[in-house]
Amino acid sequence: MTRLNPDVSADVDVLYRDGITARKGAFSRQWADELHEDVLTAFEEAMSRPGGAVGRGPNRYYVEIHPEQIRGFVELVDHPWVRSLCTEVLGPDYRIVELGFDVPLEGAVNQPWHRDFPMPDETRRERRFTSLAFNVTTVDTSEDMGPFEIAPGTQWDDGPEFEHGMFPPRSHYDRYLDRAVRKYPQRGDISARTALTIHRGTTNDSARSRPVLVLGVDGPGAVNGDRHDMAVTRDYWDTLPDQVRRHLDCPIVEVLEPVTQKHTIEGLVMGDA
């Protein structure tokens, strides 16, 4: 039975104001620990083959995976807060198009300030978001682990000086440093943001990795799904609740093939050099 959707109007207001919002304790710590196990298994497999992971800076990787690779996929995408926020921001026909994770390892360095893709015309003209990125940490984040840093309110920043529409010039960095907020999510927390808000990963001075799951959701007309290759098997599809199948936008196949990563962000490869 579908759980009732909560009122997320306050979250939508914060999302449009700051570019990010969050729900503390959305999942149990046990759920997060199982997610951590599944992510580490997928990361080990991806690193064992060419094209399995893509660099997002020194000692920092992104891996796209298939929904069947994590035990908690249905609980994630069918969580009432996730469903409600997607519906309120993107409309009832939102599409789940990406599942992956970022792993900053020991020695990861500051990324350049960036957004994840150029600003869509709808956002520029109408100040309307066409996609959302949900992030779920698999560990308790501490200061020395290279926490995610974001500059609230910068989702509207725009201009021809942005390299590839994604990388602001260094002359803007003081503005982002003045606004910068570091996030310290704990196991069970989830955040939602527009990937247009200027952000970066920071230096990981610890000996621990900091895996973060990424769930990408598009509204009608958005094309972020073109950069991703997740799929599900027919057997897995048949087990999914109707309310999940309605929004899951990916091929149904007989046998899963390992994902060869293609969502590269060239400007992140060297870090903040």
* pTM of the entire predicted model: 0.94
In a domain, 259, yes or no: no
Q: Give the chain's domain count.
A: 1
How many angstroms separate the CA atoms of 217 and 78, rounded? 13
In a domain, 266, yes or no: no
What CATH number corresponds to the domain at position 198? 2.60.120.620
pLDDT digits (tens, 9 = 90+) for 3-16: 568 999 999 999 99
H or E segment to which residue 60 belongs: strand 60-64
pLDDT of residue 126: 95
In a domain, 17, yes or no: no
- Counting as low any pLDDT under 50, the low residues of the chain are 1-2, 273
In a domain, 142, yes or no: yes
In a domain, 226, yes or no: yes
Within 8 A by CB and 6+ apart from 28, the residues are 188
In a domain, 12, yes or no: no
Which residue intervals of 152-241 are DSSP H helices? Answer: 173-179, 234-239
How many angstroms separate the CA atoms of 266 and 273, rounded? 13
In a domain, 137, yes or no: yes
pLDDT of residue 3: 57
Q: Which residues constitute the domain of residue 43?
A: 22-254
What's the token pair of residue 82?
């996730």
Which one-letter amino acid corresponds to residue 166? Answer: M
In a domain, 14, yes or no: no
What value does the mean pLDDT of the chain take?
A: 93
pLDDT digits (tens, 9 = 90+) for 98-139: 999 999 999 999 999 999 999 999 999 999 999 999 999 999
List of E strands, 138-241: 148-150, 181-182, 190-193, 199-201, 212-218, 232-233
What's the token pair of residue 271?
């870090």
CA pseudo-torsion sign 101, 104, 106, 107: positive
194-80-120 Cα angle (round to 5): 20
Within 8 A by CB and 6+ apart from 81, the residues are 6, 8, 11, 23, 26, 190
pLDDT of residue 82: 98
